[in-house]
Amino acid sequence: MATVDIKDARAMDDGRLKDELVKLKKEQFNLRFQQATGQLEKSSRIREVRRAIARVQTALREKSPKAKV
């Protein structure tokens, strides 16, 4: 699964960003579950997903009307 680049995130519309955020949060949950059960093979993926979530949230925040102060 590829991570979201900030340029790509800024180009997406709000609906697609929200869908991507939901998908990333589900993946993060699954990775945490795998880690807890000792089945996680690539522990660096947790960090990648966490940062991708932050990128998507940043893009959503930039698009919100309150950010245009």
Domain annotation covers residue 1: no
pLDDT in tens, 5-56: 999 999 999 999 999 999 999 999 999 999 999 999 999 999 999 999 999 9
Tell the burial category of 13 from Cβ atoms under 10 Å away from its Cβ (0-12, 13-18, 19+). Answer: exposed
Domain annotation covers residue 39: yes
Domain annotation covers residue 69: no
In degrees rounded to 5, what are phi and psi of residue 51? -70, -35
**pTM assigned to the model:** 0.88
Q: State how far the Cα of 6 lies from the Cα of 56, in Å rounded to an integer.
A: 7
Instruction: Read off the pLDDT band of 3 (50, 70, 90).
Output: confident
Domain annotation covers residue 25: yes
User: Residue 66: what pLDDT?
Assistant: 75
Domain count for the chain: 1
Q: Which domain holds residue 57?
A: 6-63
- Identify the CATH number of the domain in which residue 29 sits: 1.10.287
Domain annotation covers residue 15: yes
Domain annotation covers residue 44: yes
Domain annotation covers residue 41: yes
User: Residue 49: what pLDDT?
Assistant: 97
